[in-house]
Amino acid sequence: MATQNNNTQRMMDAFNRARSDIASLADWVECELDKQDGRAVTWASVGTLEHVRQQLIEALASFSGVEQSEIQRSLDELRR
């Protein structure tokens, strides 16, 4: 039984660490977006942001179980 409790504790520690890291990464992304003031926009910077957006859509789809097309549709509706 001690092995099962130890395994459960290790699993919960890993879960909480990953959850906390995801929240920290989301905050970090927000800080980086705040730095993007639009004064020095190049097609390279547009491409970088579009690439990051696609990666975030893929991550959210994987995490939430929502199809990428549905996430994209929701983003499109938010921009209207």
The verdict on 78 and 52 lying in the same domain is: yes
Is residue 25 located within the same domain as residue 11?
Answer: yes
CA-nearest of 79, 58, 80 to 69 is: 58
Among the listed residues 67, 60, 36, the one whose alpha carbon sits nearest the alpha carbon of residue 49:
36
34/5 Cα distance (integer angstroms): 43
Are 44 and 75 in a shared domain?
yes
Give pLDDT, residue 66: 97
Q: Please give the model's pTM, rounded to 2 decimal places.
A: 0.81
Domain hosting 47: range is: 40-80
Query: How many distinct structural domains can be found in the chain?
Result: 2
Sign of CA dihedral 11, 52, 48, 51: positive
What whole-number distance in Å separates Cα of residue 27 and Cα of residue 33? Answer: 10
Same domain for 14 and 48, yes or no, is no
Q: What does each of the 80 residues of the chain score in pLDDT, given as a tens digit? A: 677 889 999 999 999 999 999 999 999 999 999 988 888 899 999 999 999 999 999 999 999 999 999 999 999 999 99
Q: Residue 1's pLDDT is what?
A: 66
